[in-house]
Each structure stands twice: as C-alpha cells, then as structure tokens.
Amino acid sequence: MQKSIALGADHDINTDLLRPLCETGIGWYSIATISGLVLLAAVGAFGYQLYRGIGVWGLNRPVMWAFDITNFVFWIGISHAGTLISAILRVTGAEWRRPVTRCAEAITVFALLIGAMFPIVHLGRPWLFYWVAPLPNGRGLWPNYRSPLVWDFFAINTYLLGSIIYLYIPLIPDLALVRDRSKGLKRKIYGMLSLGWWGTQRQWQRLEKAVQVMAVIIIPVAVSVHTIVSWDFAMAIQPMWHSTMFGPYFVAGAIFSGIAALILAMAVLRKVLHLERYLKPVHFNNLGLLLLTMSLIWFYFTFAEYLTTWYGNEPAEKVIFQQKVSGPFSPMFWTMVTLCFVIPVVVLGFKRSRTIKGTVIASAGIVVGMWLERFLIIVPTLSHPRMPFNWGSYRPTWVEVTLLTGTFGYFVLLYCLFVKVFPIVAVWEYKEGLATRPAEVKAAAAHGD
Amino acid sequence: MPRLLLFGFLGVVVCAASGFVLLELSNTSAPAQPIAFDHWQHVTKPDGAQLECTFCHEHADKSAHATIPNTDTCMGCHQSIKTESPEIQELADYADRHQQPPWKRVYWIEAEANEFFTHKPHIRASIECETCHGAVSQSHTVKRETNLTMGWCVDCHKQRGASVDCYVCHR
Amino acid sequence: MPEEKAQQKPQWAMAIDLDRCTGCEACVVACGVENNVPSVGPAEAARGRAKVWIRIERYFEGEYPNIRARFRPVMCQHCEEAPCETVCPVYATYHTEEGLNAQVYNRCVGTRYCANNCPYTVRSFNWFDASWDAPLDKALNPEVSVRGRGVMEKCTFCIQRIRKGEDKARDEGREVRDGDVVPACVQSCPATAMTFGNIADPSSQVAKLAKSNRATRLLEELGTKPRVIYLSKS
Amino acid sequence: MKRREFIILTGIGATTASMLSACGHPENKLIPALIPDDQYVPGLDYWKASSCALCEEGCGILVRTREHKANKIEGNLNHPVNRGGICARGQAGLQVLYAPDRISGPMKSTGQRGSARFEPISWDEATRLLAGRLQSIKEAKSDSILFATRYPHGVNRVAAMLLGDMLEGRLMWTDSRMIHDLGASYDETYGAPQPIFDIARASYILSFGARFLETWRSPMRYSKAYGEFRGSQSRGHGKFVQIEPRMSLTAANADEWIPARPGTESLLALALGAVISREKLVKADALPAFLSAPLERFAPEDVANQIDIPADVIIRLAREFAGSERPVALPGTEPHDTSSPATIAVKYLNELVGNRDKPGGVYYSTSWINSFDSVLHKIPRATLAKASTATNGLKDKGPLSAAAQAGRDAASSPAAFLLDANQVGALLVHHVNPVYTNPEVLERVKATPFIASFSCVMDETTQLADLILPDHTYLESWDVKPAPGVDPQSAAISILQPVVVPELDTRQTADVLLAVRSELGGAADLPFDSAESLVKHTIAELSKSSASGRPSTTTEDTTDEPVQHALERGVLIVPAGAGRSTEPAFDSKSNTASRASKIEVPESPATTGESALTLISYETATFGMGGEAHLPVLQELPDPMTSVIWGNWVEISPQTAAQHGIADGELVEVSTEWGSIQVPAIVYPAIRSDVIAMPSGQGHTAFGRYATGLGANPALVQRGKQIVEAKISGTGKKAAVVRMGTMEREHPDLKR
C-alpha cells in the first residue's frame, strides 16, 4: 500500500483534522459548559433519588417502568449507529464511509455508556447492582441466568467492550500522529495510548486485519444486543410485549435511530469544528438514503405488529392497541408515526430535499419519534394489565425529565471531550481513501458540491 | 486542580475502605461489658457452679431469643455467693436499683438481612451452642468467634440436611 | 432425590369460594396488619402507590337496573409456573419446595421486572422507606420484615404462620395437619369463603375443593398454574 | 448505621471513617430480654382473649402480644357471634390503641370555648373538678346533666347509674342515635331488642334495606350466616333479594337487587303481603287476623308507581317469597323517616309466611337480656334500693327513667336530647361526638355551661370541652357486654379485659365515675371498687347463674376459678334458663294489626321538579358514624363498591351525571335547604337516577391527623335526617379523589 500523497496536502489534512485538538473556541466552551450543567443537574437528580428513594419518580403500580427503561432502550438503540455505518460499510467496502466511521463509533461507545447506566439507575437499590454479575460471594449465590436482565448484562458488556476495541483500533495511527505533533506529558500519554505505533508495514497489515475482524465480529454482537434488549419485553407474557417479532423490530428501530443520531452528530460537528471539507453533502445524502430505507423497514415492522394485533383481536392486546391508537396515548402514537415515517419519507424520498438541512430535520424528528416508540411500547402495556380493575396511568416527575435531559447533556459532553482529545475524522483512513480511490472521492466531492 | 480532585477522590476511597475495615473489625471484636462476667468460671471451672447454658439463657429452647438473664437470676445465687467481689457488688447495686447492666450484645445479624434466626429449632435439632458461639465455656470474655455470614449458615444447613430454602430464615 | 423430598413437603394452596365472598375486605386489613403493610397516605396513594398484598376486585356487570357486582379477592397466586420467577436476575423471587412463590426482600435489587411480568398485578414496590407515625409502629408484627425502600413485596401466604404451624407440628412430633396453618386472610374471613391447606394431601379441605366442578383459576389460559383456586359463583 | 445508607453516603462522598466507627449498630442493642418478669418469655406470642368494642356487637377477639405490645387482633373461635371471623374495622383496633393522636392524659381548657387550648392536669384534680361541677349543678337544682355514651351496656352504665343516684336524678342518659333507634323500634314491634333472623338456614332472604353484611346489627354474625346460606350445597342455593335505592355491598351480593324508591320499604312489604293474601299463599299457621281489609289498599297495581317497581315484579317476588320453603324477610334498620312502619310491615310479612320460631325464620327470644340485666344491674339497683328509689326493672328505674323516656320518645339521640331539653347544665360525652354527627346541635353544645369529654382523641366535641378525662381504649379496659342474638337457647356475655398495660395516662371512665361518686360522698358499700372488680364480680355471678340455670340472687361467694376460665376464653355462655320466653313476644292481634292499618302510605318523594334529587347518607362498614375515621389503615382501605380511599364522595347515576353535566371525579356542590357541601362526584352505575348517596364518617374538622379535613360531612346538610331533598351542581373543578381500583368492566366491551 502506497502512501504517496503530496506532503503539502498531507500536512494540510493533518493540521485541519487535528485543529480541534489544539484550538479551543468559544463554541466548544459554551457547549461543554451547557451540556456539563445539564449533566450536573441530572447527577443532582440522581443523588436526590438515591437519598429519598426511587419514589421520587412518577412510577406506580402497575407502571413500574417508564422513562428509565425507555431511556435505556433508546440509548442502546442509538448506539447501533456505530456498528452499522462503520462495520457494515467497512465490510462492504463502501468508500464514502471514511470520514464518517469514527464519528459513528464514538456514538456507539457513548450511547452505550449512557444506556447501560439506566438498568443501574432504575434499580430500587442501585448500590446492589453488582449482584447481577456472577461474582463469587460469601452467600454462595449466583445470578439467575434465566432472566433476560442477566442476558442484558452480558450482552451490553460484550458490546461495550467490543465497541471500545473497535473504536480504539482504528484510532491507533491517529494517536501516533498526535503523539508526533505534541511534546511533554501530552506526548507521553499519546505515546502510551498509541501502543508504539510507528507505521511499519507489518503494523499496517495487522491493523487492517484487526479492523476487519472486529468489523465482522461486532455486527452479530450489535444485532444480538438489541435483540436481547427486545427480549426484556418479548420474553414477558404481557399483552403487546410478547411478540416474536420484537428482536428484528428492535434492531431495525435501533439502527434507524442510530443513523438519525449520527446525522445529527455529523451536522453539529461539521458546523462547530468546520469540517465542511470532510463531511460533505454526499455523506448526508447517502446516510439519508439509508435512513429512508430504515424508515420504510421500521414502518413495515410497526404496521405488521399493529395489524396482527388488531386482526387477532385478543382482548388484552386489543385494550392496549386502543389505548395507543385512539386512547389517551394516541397523540403520542400519531406523533411517532408522523416523525418516524411520514416526515422522513417525504423529506428523504426526494433528492431535492435530501440535503443536509433536510436530513437533519428528518433525523431530529426520528430521534424524538423513536424515543416515543419505546415509551409507547412500555407504558401502555404496563398501565393496562389484564385485569381492568388495576388499570393505572403514568406521569413523569421532574427527576425523570431531568435524568432524560441529562443523558443528552452527558452525550454532548462526552462528544466534546472526545473531539478535544481525539481526531473525530479518521485521518489515516481519510488519507487512505484519497490515495486509493482519488477519482471516486473527487467524483463524490463534485457531486456533493 | 486535577491534583486536588485526585487527592479528594483518593481520600474518599481511603475513608470508605477504612470504614469497611472498621466495620468488619467491630464485628469480631469483643465488646467491653459493664461487668466482667466470666463464662468459664460459671460453666467449666472444676470447683465452680458448672451451670448448663440454659440455666441462665433459659429461653433458648422455646423462643427465638436465648436471652440474657436478668439480675434477679444472678442474685438468686449471688445473694450469698462471692458477695465480696467488687463486680458482684456492682451487680447487686444494679439489682437493688431494679436496673439491668447495659450488657453489650456480641452476636447479632444486621436488621437489613431480613433474617429471622430462631434458637428453638436449633436446640430441638440438638445443635451444640458452641457450634455457633465458639468455646464460650472456656473463655473469660466473650467475643464473636463466628461471623454469621450467610454462606456459613448455609454450609452447616447443607451438612446436616436442613433446608436451605431462603424462606427458612428470610421473610 | 430432591424430587422425592419435594414430594414430602406440603404443597400450600388456597381455595376461595366466590359464592361466599361478600367483598367486605376484612382480609385486606388482616393481611395488612399481619404483614406490616404500611398505609402510604393520601398523597402517595393518589400517585398509585397504595400497598396491598390482597385486594378485592369489584366488577360491575350489566346495566341498571339489572346490574350486578362481583367481588374477587386477588393476592399472589403462587403460580407453579410463575412468570415473575424466571425474570428476576438475582433469584430474589423463586419457588420454594412447598410450592410457594417466595420473595426474599434482602436479595431484591429492585428491577421491578417481576411486577411487570405478573399478569395478576399483585406485587407492590417500596418506593420509599415504610414509616409509621409513632406509636403505630408498636403494632408491627415482629415476625415479619419491615421492608426497606427499593424492594418488591407481595403476599407470602403468611410464611411466618406457615413456619409457626410447622414448628408446632414438629414440637408435637407429627406431620402438619389440615388447619395447623391459617393465613391471616383466611382466619379473618367473616363468611368463611377462604380455605388454606396442603393440596398434595388428598384428604385436605383445599384438595377437595380443588376438585370441585366450580374450581377455576385466574387467567388459566396463561398457563401459570396458580395455587389459588376460585370456586366460581354458581 | 445501615450498610446501605453507608454506601450511599460514601457514594456522594460525604462520610468519613471516624463517623462510621462512631455509629453503633441498632441491632447491637439487646433484645428486651432483661425485663424481670417470670411469666414472660421474649420472642413468644401471648394470646389474650377480649372483645371488640368498635361496634355494638362485641365480637370475641384474641389479641396477639409480644414483648408487651399488641400486634394482631383475630376473631375468637369460641365466641358464638363471630366464630373466629372478624371484620375490617375490628382488626384496625390496634390503631385505636396506638393512635398517634390519642389524648395522653387529663386536661382542662385554658382558653375560651372552642379555642382548643388545654393544659395537662392530674387525675386527682380532674376528678375533683368534675365532682365539684356536678355538685354545684346538683345544688342549683335546676339543670340536668346529660351523659351521652356510645356504649350503653356494661360497667360504664353501672357507674353512671351509681353516679346518677348521687345526683338525685339529674343525670340524664342517652346513647348514640343508631343503637337507641334500634332498641326503640324493636322493643315495640318484636318484643325483643334483637330478634334472630336465621338466614343461614333460610331458602329465601328478602331484605328491605338491611345491610346485614356491613352495618346492620351484627355484620359478623350475619356474614357467617350468609356464608352458610351460600355454602349449603345440599339444600340447593337459596335466593337473596335486596331492596334498596342504592346498591350497597349487601345488595351487591344479592341475587336480585330491587331499586325501590327510598322510603317506600313499608309500602313494598305491604304490597307483597297483599299479593300473598289475595293469592292465598299464606302459610297454614299464619295468623288470619293479619289478613284484614286494609291490606287490599296496597295491591301492587296501585302502589307500583309509588314504589317505582313494576307490578309484575312485585307479584313475582311475592310468589317466590311465599312459595319458598323457608322464607325470611329482614327489616332495614337505618333510622329512615319511615323505618318504623317498615319494620312493622316486614314483621307482618314474616308472620304471613309463618316463619316464626322455625329454622330459617325469625326467633323472638328475650331470655338472654333478662339474665344479663338481672345480674349486672342487680348491684346498682340494690344500692339504689337503699336510696329508696323505685327498682322495678331497669327501664322504669327512677333516676334514669326520665332520660330513658326522653330517649325513647321525643329525643332518641344525644343530639335530639340536646335540642329538646330545656337546660343542660353539664354535658358528659363518652365516645360520642354530637357536634360531628349532628352539626345542628353545635350552638346548643357551645351554650352548655360545662362540657366534659371522655374521648380518646381530640374530636369536634372534645375541642369544646372544659375538661377532658381520656378513657382507656377498649383494649386497655375492663367491661362486659351481652352479645345479642346469638341463639335462642343461650346468651353470650363478651368480656373485655386489658390486653396491654395502658399506653398513656388515661383512665377508664367507669373508674373515673366511681371516683367522682366517692368524691361526692358516695357510700363505700359496693361489692366492687373498680371496673375490674365489677367485671369479675359480674362474671362470677353469671357463672353461678349459668350453673344453677337461673340467675342467682347472692352477690357474695365469688370463686376465682370460673372467673379465670371465662377470662381466658373471653366469653361466657349463659344458658337461657327457662329457654324461650313463654308469652308471645308481641301480641299480633292487638298490636301489629292495628299498627299495620295505621301505616301511613308514604308520599312519593318529590319527583316533580327536574332537579330535585333525594340525598341519602349511609354508614360504611369501616367508619360507621365516623368514630374510626382516625385510623389510617381504614382510611386506606378502599370502599368495596367505589374503591375510593382517603375521603368520601357522592354517588350519582350515569344518567343524572349526564343530565347535570357532571364528570366522574368532579367536585360537585350538594345543597339542601340547610346548606351545601362540596364533595367529589363518583358516577355510580348502580343507583337510582333520582337518588344521590353519600357515605357518612368523613368530613371531620378535628379528629386526629388522618381524618381531619378529609371529605365532607353529609350531616351538615341533613339535619339528622337520612333522606332529604337535595340539588347537585358541578363546579368544573377536578376533585382530589383517590381510588385504588377502576370502575372498568372485567371484560371491557371495545369496538374493533
């Protein structure tokens, strides 16, 4: 493999892409501060929850899960951005992926960190979360391997570990690049992080190999994770939870919301970090097409799910169906359908509106819509148990709302810190792309402009 | 600033760790009792009273609690025996005032374990007191000799074929 | 070997004659007092946090003036195939050898998954620490845990009374007999609608009632095999 | 410090090791093993037998105590009334004992009346104050003294009578409204305060608003009997028909519910009688004299409109009832305006089907009350005899006769007495709360020169008191009371005895009254000096009488053993001696026939105005007249029909709700000619559209932390009447109504 790009261009790209690491603008500070404060509020809310008890949430009998598990599923879903874009595109060798991959992989890790928090946060006694882990203990007790929550524990940890590795491996050459351009303590740290990368032929070969292997491994892991998350519901016997379709339905929904989140993240990065040269309209166009596909798939699943429920006419399910479609949850339900299907299809279906702005608008709607989708899976079922005497309702408290907004603050903050420390566009991959398929890239660039 | 944070964090960790250690230590320590009662003297001493455990801990075979005897029981004998001892005089003072010495409990299980240990079935199954309480009869001061962890209880239950159903103890 | 052992253990079950049940709710208070189920107060109750281990479900049927009301006491059904048991990640709820669906408070981490998977909605969660204004706490049953916050709780078929009954039988050197164990709700029932006993013993009252042609089980179609038998209104 | 809390604290970085090591384990405290008590083993349950006093019935209870604290109340299997069962209210008794807002000791008012400012005083001072006050009234020779009690039986009664003797007839005596009305109507029509309706063996129960599963006379006794009625497989299932304008819990258990217009029960009973008579369904040994001409006036075709039940339904009911093997009709006892005629009419119906003294019918037995009265009241009567007062039976006894008469005729309740009596110099309230149950007496009460309250909790009337002498709760008291209507052959005497040492510095009212009596110079010649010794004395006497088969006349020679035995069982069964009373309990020819003809045909309540509704209030099984509203366990017990907790409501039919534009859970205003109250509306599918119904027992303005300010008090707009004309209008505001279950149907009928 030849690295024969003109030194000047190479230098330019390096400087360009590493600029966020050296220069810190007012934009970064304000975003980091705001997101940090939002996160801090959520931490405070969690502290209050720990101090008072989980009763500070709006949960009740029969609605024992609501925002907590909605957030959990939502963020685990968002985390699927990294896998698909990066791994699938890598495996299939889609060239346009190059500036996008790291951005996506970072989303995976951050969203997972946030999502995986919720099963702990939502516990009645969060300080005992480690009992779910198979740790040897004086009581001689083990977790219950029949419980989907234990499967979750393993699946999410596997996925998190895999995602971190998958984020890290392609980061190594760039870390070395940063190391080479810095000095002092910073150089030492980056030196340690880059694991002695000197860019030898053997190292490049091994890197490529590792990335490829990880890409192949991470796809089934990602699919299994959200399938297992869906089984939290599907394994239960509650009406409109006990569905065989939930695995693929959730995976599709996860990828759907993940791409939307990725588009939003890219748009923000593009603006804030001035990456217009790298994140081009073509990327948004391509991702927009993917999003359109996922929207159609999502709608297909949703339609199939609701049609079979309606046609089957099973009394317990019918109640929940009605609650969603025409009952008190119907405003949320139809908002969801509009945000996840109507708007995306209209906006993304036409090339003219599949612009950066268009995809961002569609994506923002989808992120909200997909949060609603998870909420609508959880709450109507729980609030309408089989015996109507026990029907209830649910209203969130400020603690839950603060925790939800806090997750976004956390996400943004993590991203801010990440772009401060690591190049958000994979420098070597980008350059590799320029080297191997300059024509294609040029064509793409021309198309985008 | 980061250094301060680091130290702060370390400080919390150290405090927490030492807290746990202290917690564990306090579990096994022998608390200082208001009157230096000597089990050996009452139970084992060759020319002593050679009492049965249930002579004083009289409810062990019928109740959840073995119970510590009240001063009336003590004074039953010590009205006339060894009245010259300052410890006995102190005991007599308590008895005169109709008070009980503030004995410190040596064995207990944390309330949050939701555990309902009952002496009675253990006595019924002829478990020796010393199985759980150690060689009290040989000791001059009582200290906690077993930690009463759940695994320890369960092991014994398993060995003896007693039920290990959670509902036997926890409810 | 373990199977045989389980066979020897009594298999607790309850039969409720809906013909006799008047819906008076004496059992609800009996249960609350026996099991230290706290009153949560109007504010918490308004948020749907009132705690009960047994409730009387009242359903109206028909329209005025030919309207009827039916009552059904519902407590933990102690399902043989309990949906709550499989989903608990830490075995805080599990099936005992005596056929009870047990809830071990100190093992519970509070995922609430069990409650979500209970088709009968019989599980209550401790959103906050339970409290009693002094001196109401003096009336607490010392044989039952006061549950702290963050744990699930539900009907135990009065496990403490089962243990006492068994203890008594063992003191007398015999097997547990019908009538040795009477849960608080059964004890209080003014119309004698409830019967409790060992369903594995064919001579027990509850085993006989279970064979009645009026015997039904709640949401039988779910296959949870409840241990509470309802004798339907005839 | 608990480990959990510890972890939380470290988690937020706010703990130190020193803090931790300083904290002890609460578990580290020794269990209370050190109490020098030979009898007592820590960790073991001690069951103590006593009796419940939360309603008039007196069910036998067993109280489980551990470490000298009561922790459970269960029904006493040996007690013939409840046979082991116990109702919701009875089990809440522990909270009566441990109520946080109990008055902890005697107090006297320091501020103006109603300022609710009190200062603690000693019992000696309290007794002296009361005695001095009573003495001065006695000397003034003008005013009377009203002792209003919830418990008309037992030691308090004896003590009050003895005290009354000292006060030369100035002590007037009433008990709470419900009980007295019961006594009144039954005395006259049945010849016994509590005839026994043998519903267990009946094959057809026709209840005219008798809510026997909730409140009526003995919810426990009749619930047990109801269970047997339903459980009798061999006899086939009987039928149970309930006639009531609003579906109560009892009606909900009926096989058929007849929503007759309120106040038309007597009319319906007579209409049924008319059918039975004209179709010659009268049983052979029924009294022909009943079938007199007036009955034809009540032909169903003529009165169906008034009752608002189709004539063919009435005819069918009559045929079913008379055709059934063992029919029994139950009179409602709610003191409706028309309850007395209804009671007579129902009795008439029973006579028509000839179920008297038959299995599944009505037993009229008075023997138990003779036995009880003659023994318990022999003592004070003997004393009174010395004071040269007429002692010819309790009712006619001098000092009390005035009150008894007043209570019987003109004024049947403390409230009515207060309104009617000219001068009440002192009001002594004992577990009654007239200001709450009859708010119309507020001004009269306020104007009373002296008020002493024996209440356990600061209630509306006690707030106005000058002197508070808190009584023990029933779980700390000694008492005996007859358990009426057990069976015709024997009487049960429920025994109350302390199951725990008194929680607070309270004193049993009987002891206080006896102390006041001696303060006033009462002779110390009684065979007892306290409630305890009176109870033991009474048990000893009754044991002797049960041994000899008839009441004994000697008061000495009490052996301890039967007393001990009775105290352990908590109940004493006394054979009726001569068995059933020999003479007919009531003379049908002379009495009922004439009364039946005198039954006035009730005017149909106003149905002319579109908006005119009938407001009825009813007692609930849990709160009764509101005396137990301060118990959180009952407040959080859902109403069985509406599932409402922590508050009350007004029930309106869906039709009326739609007509007035009222939504379920909306705050509405209920107004009558006496005022209006705001209360949440519950759209209730099982109530007549011209009726709105409200449960009593809530709406306290002072009654401990749990009851105060909850709900509305229907008595405010009812003036002591159970049925009044009312208007209802929505306020558009959502009410804070808390429910523990929905009103949904079990199988919701959803459109596809």
Q: Best residue in C145, C153, C158, C164 to probe B by mutation, most B CBs within 10 Å?
A: C145
Q: Is the pLDDT of residue A113 over 90?
A: yes
Q: What is the pLDDT of residue C3?
A: 43
How far is CA A145 from each of CA A65, A133, B66, C224, D367, rounded to the nearest angstrom?
22, 10, 40, 20, 70
Cα C86 to Cα C89: distance, rounded to the nearest angstrom = 8
Segment D687-720, tens digit of pLDDT: 999 999 999 889 999 999 999 999 899 989 988 7
pLDDT band for position A1 (cuts 50, 70, 90): very low
Q: Which D residues 148-177 touch B at CB under 8 Å?
A: none
Q: Which of A396-410, D51-65, D418-432 holds the top average pLDDT?
A: A396-410
Structure tokens given for C27: 């059992």
pLDDT at B17 over 60: yes
Summarised one tens digit per residue, pLDDT across range B111-134 is: 888 888 999 999 999 999 888 888
A53, closest residue in chain C (CA to CA): C128
Q: What tokens were used for C170?
A: 């063992």
Q: D675-683 and D256-258 as β-strands: parallel, antiparallel, unpaired?
A: unpaired
Reply yes or no on whether the pLDDT at D370 is more than 60.
no
For residue D37, what pLDDT band results from cuts at 50, 70 and 90? low
A389 → closest Cβ in D7, D741, D752: D741
| DSSP-based three-state secondary structure for A387 | coil
Mutation for C interface: D738, D742, D743, D747, most C CBs within 10 A: D738
The verdict on a CB contact (< 8 Å) between B114 and C145 is yes
* Residue C102 at interface with chain B, using a CB cutoff of 8 Å: yes
The nearest CA of chain B is from the CA of D631 a distance in Å of 27
> Which residue of chain D has the CA closest to B58?
D41
CB D638 within 8 A of CB D739: yes
Q: DSSP letters of A287-299?
A: HHHHHHHHHHHHH
pLDDT tens digits, one per residue of D410-435:
334 666 667 666 667 888 888 888 88
Total Cβ atoms within 10 A of residue D525? 8
Which residues, 6+ apart, have CB-to-CB distance to C135 below 8 Å?
D98, D100, D503
Q: How far is B123 from chain C (nearest CA, A)?
A: 12
Name the residue with higher pLDDT: B23 or A342.
Answer: A342
**Cα separation values, A114 from A58, A74, A107, Å:** 21, 10, 10
Show which subunits contact D, needing at least 3 CB pairs below 8 angstroms. Answer: A, B, C
Give the integer Cα–Cα distance in Å for C61 and C48.
Answer: 25
Q: Please tell me which of the candidates A127, A310, A388 has its beta carbon nearest to residue D742.
A: A388
Q: Average pLDDT, stretch A181-191?
A: 89
Nearest-CA distance D63 → chain B (Å): 19
What backbone torsions phi and psi does residue A63 show, to the nearest 5 degrees?
A: -90, 95
Weakest-pLDDT range from A20-29, C20-29, D94-103: A20-29
Q: Nearest chain D residue to A126 by CA: give it.
A: D8
Q: Which residues contact A99 (CB under 8 A, 6 or more apart)?
A: A275, A278, A279, A280, A283, A425, A426, A430
Instruction: Please tell me the predicted confidence (pLDDT) of residue D559.
Output: 56
Residues A250-261, mean pLDDT to the nearest whole number:
94
Which residue in D has a C-alpha nearest to residue A323's C-alpha?
D750
Residue D686 main-chain phi, psi, to 5 deg: -120, 60
CA nearest to A145 within chain C: C89
Find the closest chain D residue to A44 by CA distance.
Answer: D12
Most confident of A98-102, A314-318, B146-150, C27-31: C27-31
pLDDT per residue as tens digits for the range D208-242: 988 999 888 788 989 999 999 988 655 566 899 99
User: For the residues B49-77, what does the mean pLDDT come to?
Assistant: 86
Interface test with B, best of A127, A135, A139 (most B CBs within 10 A): A139
Q: Which residues of C touch A121 (CB under 8 A)?
A: none
Report pLDDT digits (tens) over D76-92.
Answer: 998 888 889 999 999 99
Query: Which chain D residues touch A315 with a CB distance below 8 Å?
Result: 747-748, 750
Q: Compare A393 and D188 and report the one with higher pLDDT.
A: A393
Backbone conformation region of residue C223, classed left if phi is above 0, alpha if psi is from -120 to 50, else beta: left
How does the average pLDDT of chain D come out, rounded? Answer: 76
Does residue D638 have a pLDDT over 50? yes
Closest by Cβ to D741, choosing from C26, C58, C189: C58
Nearest CA in chain B to C148: B112
The string of pLDDT tens digits covering residues D309-351 is: 999 999 999 999 998 889 999 987 554 344 467 777 888 888 8
> In chain D, which residues have their Cβ closer than 8 Å to the Cβ of B110?
2-3, 25, 27
- The residue in chain C having the minimum alpha-carbon distance to the alpha carbon of residue A397 is C47
Q: What is the mean pLDDT of residues A378-403?
A: 94
Q: What is the mean pLDDT of chain C?
A: 91
CB contact under 8 A, B171 and C156: yes
pLDDT score, position D267: 85
pLDDT reported for residue C197? 94
- D451 φ, ψ (degrees, to nearest 5): -130, 130
Contacts of D28 in chain B (CB under 8 A): 104-105, 108
Could you give the percent of chain C with pLDDT greater than 90? 87
Residue C124 has pLDDT above 90, yes or no: yes
pLDDT for B93 beyond 70: yes
Within 8 A of B109 by CB-CB distance, chain D residues are: 27
Distance CA D379, CA D376 (A): 7
On whether the CB atoms of residues D133 and D450 are closer than 8 A, the answer is: yes
Least confident range of A361-370, B51-60, D191-200, D490-499: D191-200
Average pLDDT for residues D552-581, to the nearest whole number?
65
CA distance D641 to D743: 9
* Separation in Å, CA of D15 to nearest CA in chain A: 14
Pairing state of beta strands D490-496 and D571-575?
Answer: antiparallel
ipTM: 0.87
pLDDT the model gives residue D605: 47
Task: Using the predicted structure, report yes or no on whether residue B12 has a pLDDT greater than 80.
Answer: no
C46 at interface of A, judged by CB pairs closer than 8 A: no
Which residues in chain B are contacts of A139 at CB distance < 8 A?
A: 149-151, 154
Q: Which partners does chain C have (≥3 C-beta pairs < 8 Å)?
A: A, B, D
**Could you tell me the two tokens for A89?**
């595109």
How far does CA C141 lie from the centroid of its chain? 17
pLDDT surpassing 70 at residue B89: yes
- Asked if D25 has any chain B CB less than 8 Å from its own CB, the reply is yes
Q: Which residues of C touch D654 (CB under 8 A)?
A: 64
**Chain pair A-D, CB pairs under 8 angstroms:** 35
Asked if C119's CB is within 8 angstroms of A385's CB, the reply is yes
pLDDT on residue D520:
86
pLDDT band per the 50, 70, 90 thresholds, residue D22: very low
Is the pTM value of this prediction over 0.90?
no
**Set of chain D residues whose Cβ sits within 8 Å of the Cβ of C70:** 252, 746
State the pLDDT confidence band at B2, using cuts at 50, 70 and 90: low
For residue B115, which residues of chain C lie inside 8 Å, CB to CB? Answer: 106
- How far B105 CA lies from chain D's nearest CA (Å)? 5
Q: What is the mean pLDDT of residues C97-119?
A: 93
Q: A59: Cβ–Cβ under 8 A, 6 or more apart, which residues?
A: A65, A66, A394, C112, C125, C127
The per-residue pLDDT for A308 is 93
Shortest Cα distance, chain C CAs vs residue D52, angstroms: 14
pLDDT surpasses 80 at D6 = no
Is the pLDDT confidence value at D183 over 60? no
CB-CB contact of D598 with D578 (8 Å): no
Other residues' Cβ atoms within 10 Å of the Cβ of residue A381:
26
For residue C117, pLDDT beyond 90: yes
How many Å lie between the alpha carbon of A392 and the closest alpha carbon of chain C?
7
Question: Residue D320 has what pLDDT?
Answer: 93
Residues of C (130-189) whose Cβ lies below 8 Å from D:
133-142, 148, 184, 187-189
pLDDT at residue D558 in the model: 47
Which residue, among D11, D694, C5, D197, has the nearest Cα to B19 in the 3D structure? Answer: D11
What average pLDDT is seen over chain A? 89
Give percent above pLDDT 70 in chain C.
Answer: 97
Six token digits for residue A403:
């925790």
Band the pLDDT of A271: cuts 50, 70, 90: confident
- pLDDT tens digits along D121-141: 999 999 999 999 888 888 877
In a 13 Å sphere around the CA of D294, the CA atoms on its Cβ side amount to 16
pLDDT tens for residues A414-445? Answer: 999 998 889 888 888 888 877 765 555 454 44
User: Is residue D527 very low, low, confident or very high in pLDDT (cuts 50, 70, 90)?
Assistant: confident
3-state SS of chain C: helix, strand, coil percent to 5? Answer: 25, 20, 55
Is the pLDDT confidence value at D603 over 60? Answer: no
* pLDDT on residue D20: 34
Secondary-structure percent of chain D, ordered helix, strand, coil, rounded to 5: 35, 20, 45
- Residue A268, pLDDT > 60, answer yes
**pLDDT (mean) for C100-113:** 94
| Calpha distance B77→B60 (Å, rounded) | 21
Chain B touched by D26 (CB under 8 Å)? yes
Residue A64: its pLDDT value, please? 94
Q: What percent of chain A has pLDDT over 70?
A: 94
pLDDT tens for residues A226-248?
Answer: 999 999 999 999 999 999 999 99
Is 50 exceeded by the pLDDT of residue D627? yes
More confident residue, A368 or D563: A368
What does the pLDDT look like over D242-296, one tens digit per residue?
999 999 999 999 999 999 988 888 889 889 988 988 888 887 565 545 444 467 7
